[in-house]
Amino acid sequence: NYPLMVAVDDAGTDAGFAVSVQCVAPIDPHSVASLMRTAVSALVAGLEDDPDLALRSVPVLDDAALTELLVDNNDTAHAVPDATLVGLFEEQVRRSPEAVAVVFEGEQVSYAELNVRANRLARLLVARGAGPESLVAVALPRSVELVVALLAVLKSGAAYLPVDPEYPADRIGFMLADASPVCVVTTSDVVSALPQITDVLVVDDPQFVVEVSAYPGVDLQVGFGSECPAYVIFTSGSTGRPKGVVVSHAGIVNRLLWMQDRFGLDVSDRVLQKTPSGFDVSVWEFFWPLLVGAGLVVARPGGHRDPAYVAGLIVSAGVTTVHFVPSMLAAFVAEPSAAGCVGLRRVVCSGEALPAEVVQRFFAALDGVGLFNLYGPTEASVDVSWWECVPGPISVPIGRPVWNTQLYVLDSALSPVPPGVAGELYLAGVQLARGYLGRSGLTSERFVADPFGPAGSRMYRTGDLARWTVDGVVEYLGRTDDQVKLRGFRIELGEIEAVLAGHDAVAQVAVLAREDRPGDKQLVAYIVAAAEAAVEVSALRERAAQALPDYMVPSAFVVLDALPLTANGKLDRRALPAPEFDSDPAGRKPRTVQEQQLCDLFAEVLGLESVSIDDN
């Protein structure tokens, strides 16, 4: 903390008072002086009116400062048509029916063909009960069929629920039971991993091909408005249960039309779709190019994990626009072939904090390519703020709000805090999700009344710490709770703890995201065994893998006699020990040059003295 003190003499008498302001980071002298003047003036005025006034009730911002924070910084009003993703896509089909819409592994599909295929599947979905306010689950790997299925669900009037086929069966089962979709669109490779449900459409089944081909390929004209749900994406839940976020057409349309206005895709552009469909960034990857006549290049399943493959696809497919989470961007710019992506025009980053060091490496590797840092939770139609990065050793803010969106930085009493002072970030505007699927209590807890907007408006409590700068941009500072971001995935540590605590041998559990080496963040589970029970780490790891996605399975398990506590009895997270990775002392030594090189590499990556060829 950086304490700032000012003392004020009260008219030459012995009475007086002092003001202390705590800032989480250095702020410029202008902000300090302005903050002190405002605070002292507010205190003097408040105490003159009411000597017993509670300090927390004293406003520290005058009317001009409030107007700047609440109105001027959020002046984002922009006319947006009352439209749906379906209507905008079908308009584009009429404008460019023969243009290439989707490219996947050598296959090219035109806008007209994509529309016909989606219409036929949509009619089949309607016959199975799909319609406005219903859900259709889509459990497909990345493919042309995935794009067709998402469009078909939207054309039927329903919202799509993406189900990653790589998720554990338990998690898939929970999502389907919680969401109750009318049917699931999947493949023969995936259907065996799905729980027993009433209706499954297997897209590579010959009977399905015959059935769907019997329907006409003309547009359906299903009647539904922009307030209807477009998609539901499940995120990690702090109570141990994942929660589905319901997003309307109005929210995502506002987001995509802002993006088009800002970046201006045209028919020469191609957007790479490589984000898993269960991650909300995939939404703009899928639909932005299809609304404006650009091409959608779909990466092969698993390809998003391979920087060399991504670089090669960017070159071979003529990709101009791509998204990375910051940790993957760091791996991408370290890939030698990334420098050859000469056709790349813009890179969008989001999902976690973007380090300034990665920005500098990006511009060194890809000179002339635009880099943009976007921010937003799943509960707000993907992104709500943006910032254009520039070369230079500076921090990277999350920027300014997009169209029809407001950003508030508030204290615990929901009062705006001055520029330079940390507070919790709240979001408001048209992009807010409708809420959590079937979780009215949780919805009312996180989506609260907006005291600064029109009657009936809401704002979303993000749990993120942030601050305004004097230039009117927002900087991200961290979290107010235990939620973490790991490689772009949002993780509630409480969900992992709930899974592990369900094991009979576990009495207590705490999960922590550690970064013992810079840039190497990993999940570590700390376990206290139940009385007279023996903890088997392999059993706990297997339990976690059966219930959680792989990115939520802890990298290490540490068994303790007791969890360390602070003086007031709370968990002392700072006292939790770093995991130790020890090589097997009885393990065999390398026998060849190649084995020695491999062992040396593993030892370097894991931070060990040495590694034997028998180590796990």
Amino acid at 246: V
- Reported confidence tier of residue 6, pLDDT bands at 50, 70, 90: very low
pTM of the predicted model as reported, rounded to 2 decimal places: 0.85
What is the maximum span of the chain, computed from C-alpha positions, in angstroms? 94
The pLDDT of 481-490, averaged and rounded, is: 84
- Reported confidence tier of residue 8, pLDDT bands at 50, 70, 90: very low
Contacts of 19 (CB under 8 A, 6+ apart): 5, 6, 8, 36, 39, 40, 43
- DSSP 3-state of 44: helix
Per-residue tokens: 260 = 């088009």
The pLDDT of 79-103, averaged and rounded, is: 98
For all residues of the chain together, what is the average pLDDT?
90
Residues 246 and 228: their CA atoms lie apart, in Å, by: 9
- pLDDT at 450 (0 to 100): 97
- pLDDT at 296 (0 to 100): 98
Burial group, residue 512, by CB count within 10 angstroms (0-12, 13-18, 19+): buried
The pLDDT of 546-570, averaged and rounded, is: 88
User: What residues pair up with 22 in beta bridges, in sequence order?
Assistant: 3
Per-residue tokens: 53 = 């006034």
Tens of pLDDT, residues 598-612: 999 998 888 888 888
| Pick from 152-156, 272-276, 366-370, 571-575: least confident | 571-575
79, 92, 435, 444 from 441: Cα distances, Å: 33, 40, 10, 5
Q: Which string of DSSP letters, residue by residue, matches 315-373?
A: HHTT--EEEE-HHHHHHHHHSGGGGG-TT--EEEE-SS---HHHHHHHHHHSTT-EEEE
Tokens 């790991």 sit on residue: 486
Return the H-helix or E-strand segment holding 191.
helix 188-191
Q: Which of 187, 207, 182, 208 is nearest to 197 (CA)?
A: 182
Per-residue tokens: 99 = 């243009």
Residues 340 and 366: their CA atoms lie apart, in Å, by: 8
Tens of pLDDT, residues 290-348: 999 999 999 999 999 999 999 999 999 999 999 999 989 999 999 999 999 999 999 99
The fraction of the chain above a pLDDT of 90, given in percent, is 71
Buried b (16+ CB within 10 A) or exposed e, 598-610: ebeebbeeeeeee
Residues 491 and 515: their CA atoms lie apart, in Å, by: 15
Q: Which string of DSSP letters, residue by residue, matches 166-181?
A: TS-HHHHHHHHHHH--
